[in-house]
Amino acid sequence: MLKTYLQSLIESVFTNKKKYIGQQAFPKSNGWININQQSSGEYVAPEDGYILFFVSNTSSVDIHSDNSSNYPYSRSALSTGSTFIFSSTIKVRKGDHVRFDFKESAPTVFTFIPIEGS
């Protein structure tokens, strides 16, 4: 009887929190930070979140974080003749250093998006 009671108590505590816990990884709808739009440099993530960028009129982009091998990120590139259009989202943790080099031009969008749980 005690075992059944304890199991029921544990399930009620953790089962009801699954949805709440899962939502903590979603981007916040406010608090986005525009990063200085320059061609190269470094940005330190102030909290857990995502780096989003969009750049056109460039031939290549180099962007990575300290832990980019540990976190998935998406990227896309579109060729328009000899010029590429790049966009990407990179997941970062608080304190990660994100180094970037946009070869020919600065990005038109370069933003840090915190997550709800931060």
What's the confidence (pLDDT) of residue 15? Answer: 63
Percent of the chain with pLDDT over 90: 5
Rounded to whole angstroms, how far apart are CA atoms 1 and 85?
64
> In 3-state terms, what secondary structure has residue 2?
helix
pLDDT tier, 62 (very low <50, low <70, confident <90, very high otherwise): confident
pTM for the model stands at: 0.67
Residue 88: how many other CB atoms lie within 10 Å:
18
Which uninterrupted H or E stretch holds 4? helix 2-15
What's the confidence (pLDDT) of residue 19? Answer: 67
Percent of the chain with pLDDT over 70: 70
Residue 48: how many other CB atoms lie within 10 Å:
18
Q: Which residue has the higher pLDDT, 36 or 43?
A: 43
